[in-house]
Every structure is written in C-alpha cells, then in structure tokens.
C-alpha cells in the first residue's frame, strides 16, 4: 500500500471515529438536562423563564466536550498529511481520534446531571436560583477536565514530532497513548457529573448549606479525576519514552496493552468515586452538622475504590518498563 | 514484521494481561463506589453508628476488591510466568 495514502486514510478514519464517539455523551447529557427541565416546568410553570435559561446554560457547558471532539475531527479532516505519511503518522492520528472520541463521552453525560438538577432545584427553591446556577457551572466545568486531558493528548498526537521514533513498536505506543487517556476519561467525567448533580439537588433542598455542599462536591470530584490523571500519565510515558526498534510483535503488543489496561482500568474507579461523592454531597446538605464525618468516610471509600485503578497503572508500567 | 511462534505467544500474553487487568478493574471500582455511597447515606441518616458503618463498608469493599485482585494475579502470571 502507498504509505502516503495510508496517512491520509488514517486521518479521515480517525476524524469519523472522533466525532462519532464524541457526539454520544453530550447528546445524552443534554437530553437528561432537558428532560428534567420539563419536569421542573411542570412543577412550577410560572418559573419557566428562569428554568429555560438555566437549562440552556447547562446544556451549553455539556456541549463543550463534543465541541472539543468536533475541533479535533475538523483538524484531522483538513490537515495536510501528504508530506509525512507512514505507519507511525497513521497510528498517531488514529490515537488522536480515539483519545478525543472516547474522552468526550463521560464528560458529556456527566455535565448533564448538574444541569438537570439545577433546573429542578429552581422550581423548588426559586430564591436559590443564582446559587444553583453558580454551583451547576462549577460542577459541570470540573466534569470537563477529563475531556480537556483527552484533547491535550489528541493535539499532542496530531502535532508530535516523530523524528526519532522507530516505526515498530512506536505505532503501538502512539495508539496506546490515545486509548489510555481516552478510555480513562469516561469514568472520571461521568463520576464527576454524579457528584455535581447531587450537590445541586442538595442545595435546592437546603440552600443554607451551599458552602459545605460545594466543598464536598469539589473534593469528591477531584478524587474522581485521579483515574484520568493516571491515564494521562501513562499516555505521556508512551509518547515520550524512547523505545528500541524491534520488528517482533511482542514489544508492540506490550505497549498497546499498557494503554488499553490503564484506559479500561480507569473507567470503574472513576464512576465508583463519583458515586461516593454523589452520596456524600447529597447527605451533607441534609445533615450538615456531620459534614466532617461524611467527608472522611467519602475519602476512605474513594481510596479503596481507587485501588483497582492503581493495580491497572502498575500493570501498565510493568508492561512499559519491565517486560 | 517477522512473527514467529514464541513471539506470537508473548504478544498474546501481553495483550491478555492488559485486557485482564483493564476490564477486571471496572467492576470493583464501581461496586466499591456503591458501597461507599450507601455508607455515606447511612451515616447521614444515623451518624451515631459511624464506627460500625465504616467497618462494615471496609469489609464489604474488601470482598468486592477480590475480583480485582484475581485480575491482577492473572495479569502478573501472564506477564512473568507464562
């Protein structure tokens, strides 16, 4: 096959994967926001103006993950790969599409939860409208971080200088780098959204607790982001470590497998940590006197749930550095 | 690319190790998160039993962790023994 043509082929294929996968999450998240907004308006039709405004703001934030995917997809469509084709470039471009496509999923779905719960909250507690909108914006902005990590990795893969890298096993390292951050971002984005949604619900129930609830949400979300940070770390190692050229299959499979391992392994702990943070934020609002006990329990529970992400990282690092 | 028997087996073992640990980490992560969520709920409802609930949570999570540890063991076996 003509190597120059293969670079262009990879760019087009990757562009399709990127926006195809990237469109899933935001659409679900925004649909959830709109569904709950309808519920809220049926509860209190007289506040439909505020609720509609809040719904649109929330959906706009949830949209950003898929806009990142659109940007990368358009970049891949129109970039010039004629001068520097080859297997390595093809792998880098494919990795970029996979990273951004998967990476936008969780953040898009997750950012829908605070949007919906803030709408419902406005129908319950109209005087807390501004507190709810602010908390929604903070919560859904933090949900976007895994999608931003994915975009950073995608951009690095598109523009990386492949000068020194051997084609084999370099192709597997670049593909693995994309998968690692992309897949790991799914859980963190979704989990962060669960926490943000519950905090909006809690503020609507007890507007006075807004300080403690937002703090619990942010701490919980920060811990839920760790699996995606592990994913980012493995991606960076795969992109920048120098590998010995080898035509054998095993070293390449080891590097690809390291990316898949960390990527898949980050999904569960991200969601689990988000669930713990969700319950903690919800119950801090209802029982604010015990916020310190709840925060402590949340952190212990999250630490245990994190352990499998750490196992996955250990196996990834063994695959990269030891075997 | 030259692919021979031993190389192919090693490649499959590496890929298997990554998939085993990656997929195996999903379940315990979600399950233990659920345990932590319900423990937070329970402490919110009944803060007096915080000690008992924390203990129960940790024991429950330790059991849920076991499948993650099986995955880790299988992954390490694939990497170093097979």
CA dist., res. A11 & res. A8, Å (int):
5
The CA distance from A130 to the nearest CA of chain B, in Å, is 27
Chain-chain contact of A311 with B35 (C-beta, under 8 angstroms): no
Number of separate domains in chain B: 1
Give the closest of B27, B54, B72 to A315, CB-based. B72
Rounded Cα distance, A62 and A127, in Å: 25
- CATH code of the domain containing A32: 1.20.120.610
State whether B25 and A248 contact (CB < 8 Å).
Answer: no
Confirm or reject contact between A304 and chain B (CB < 8 A): yes
pLDDT for residue A283: 96
For residue A266, the chain B residues in CB contact (below 8 A) are 25
Say what the pLDDT of residue A240 is: 92
Q: Find the CB nearest A319 among B17, B23, B40.
A: B17
**Chain B CB contacts of A166 below 8 Å:** none
Extract the residue ranges of chain B whose pLDDT is less than 50: none
CB–CB of A318 and B61 under 8 A? no
Q: What are the chain B neighbours of A278 within 8 Å (beta carbons)?
A: 37
pLDDT tens-digit profile, chain A (323 residues)? 555 567 888 999 999 999 999 999 999 999 999 999 999 999 999 999 999 999 999 999 999 999 999 999 999 999 888 666 578 889 999 999 999 999 999 999 999 999 999 999 999 999 999 999 999 999 999 999 999 999 999 999 999 888 788 888 999 999 999 999 999 999 999 999 999 999 999 999 999 999 999 999 999 999 999 999 999 999 999 999 988 888 889 999 999 999 999 999 999 999 999 999 999 999 999 999 999 999 999 999 999 999 999 999 999 999 999 98
In chain A, what residues touch B41 (CB-CB under 8 Å)?
A: 279, 282-283
Contact assignment for B22 to A265 by CB distance below 8 Å: yes
Distances (CA, A) of A150 to A121, A132, A141, A213: 32, 28, 15, 28
Domain that holds residue B34: 5-80
Of A187, A254, A283, the CB nearest to B40: A283
Q: List, as one string, the DSSP characters of A93-136.
A: HHHHHHHHHHHHHHHHHHHHHHHHHHHHHHHH-GGGHHHHHHHH
Query: In total, how many domains does chain A have?
Result: 1
Chain A, 100 to 129: residues with Cβ < 8 Å from chain B are none
Q: What CATH number does residue B59 fall under?
A: 1.20.20.10
Per residue in B37-56, pLDDT (tens digit) is 999 999 999 999 999 999 99
Q: How far is A278 from chain B (nearest CA, A)?
A: 7
At residue A95, the pLDDT reads 96
Contacts of A259 in chain B (CB under 8 A): 18
In the stretch 236-275 of chain A, residues with CB closer than 8 A to chain B read 247-250, 252-254, 256-275
Provide the H-helix boundaries in chain A. 3-43, 48-78, 87-124, 129-143, 145-159, 167-205, 210-240, 249-286, 291-317
Structural domain including A181 reads: 3-322
In this prediction, residue A54 carries a pLDDT of 95
With left for phi above 0 and alpha for psi between -120 and 50, is residue A44 left, alpha or beta?
beta
Nearest CA in chain A to B11: A250
With an 8 Å Cβ cutoff, are A318 and B54 in contact?
no
Contact call for A305 and B50, based on CB within 8 A: no
* Helix locations, B1-82, DSSP H: 5-45, 50-80
| Prediction pTM value | 0.93
Give B7→chain A minimum CA distance, Å: 6
């Amino acid at each position: 096959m003509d190597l120059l043509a293969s670079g262009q082929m990879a760019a087009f294929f990757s562009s399709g994967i990127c926006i195809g996968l990237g469109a899933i999450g935001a659409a679900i998240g925004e649909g959830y926001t709109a569904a709950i907004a309808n519920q809220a308006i049926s509860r209190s039709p007289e506040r439909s103006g505020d609720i509609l405004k809040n719904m649109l703001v929330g959906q706009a934030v949830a949209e950003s993950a898929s806009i990142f995917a659109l940007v990368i997809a358009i970049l891949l469509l129109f970039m010039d790969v004629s001068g520097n084709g080859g297997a390595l470039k093809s792998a880098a471009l494919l990795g970029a599409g996979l990273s951004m496509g998967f990476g936008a999923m969780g953040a898009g779905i997750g950012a829908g939860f605070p949007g919906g719960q803030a709408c419902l909250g406005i129908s319950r507690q109209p005087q807390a409208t501004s507190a709810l909108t602010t908390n929604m914006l903070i919560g859904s902005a933090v949900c976007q971080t895994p999608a931003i990590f994915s975009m950073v990795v995608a951009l690095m893969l598109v523009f990386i200088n492949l000068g020194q890298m051997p084609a084999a096993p370099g192709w597997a390292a670049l593909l693995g780098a994309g998968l690692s951050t992309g897949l790991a971002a799914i859980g963190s984005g979704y989990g962060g959204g669960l926490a943000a949604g519950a905090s909006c619900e809690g503020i609507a129930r007890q507007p006075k607790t807004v300080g403690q609830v937002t703090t619990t949400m942010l701490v919980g979300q920060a811990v839920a982001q760790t699996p995606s940070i592990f994913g980012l770390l493995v991606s960076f190692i795969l992109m920048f470590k120098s590998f010995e050229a080898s035509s054998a299959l095993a070293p390449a499979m080891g590097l690809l497998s390291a990316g898949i391992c960390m990527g898949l392994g980050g999904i569960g702990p991200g969601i689990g940590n988000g669930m713990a943070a969700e319950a903690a934020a919800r119950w801090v609002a209802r029982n604010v006197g015990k916020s310190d006990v709840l925060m402590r329990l949340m952190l212990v529970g999250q630490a245990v749930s994190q352990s499998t992400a750490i196992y996955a990282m250990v196996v990834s690092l063994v695959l990269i550095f030891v075997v | 690319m030259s692919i021979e028997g031993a190389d192919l087996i090693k490649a499959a073992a590496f890929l298997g190790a990554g998939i085993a640990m990656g997929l195996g980490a999903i379940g315990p992560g979600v399950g233990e998160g659920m345990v932590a969520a319900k423990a937070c709920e329970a402490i919110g409802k009944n803060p007096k039993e915080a000690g008992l609930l924390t203990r129960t949570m940790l024991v429950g999570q330790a059991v849920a962790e076991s499948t993650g540890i099986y995955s880790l063991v299988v992954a390490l076996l694939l990497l170093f023994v097979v």
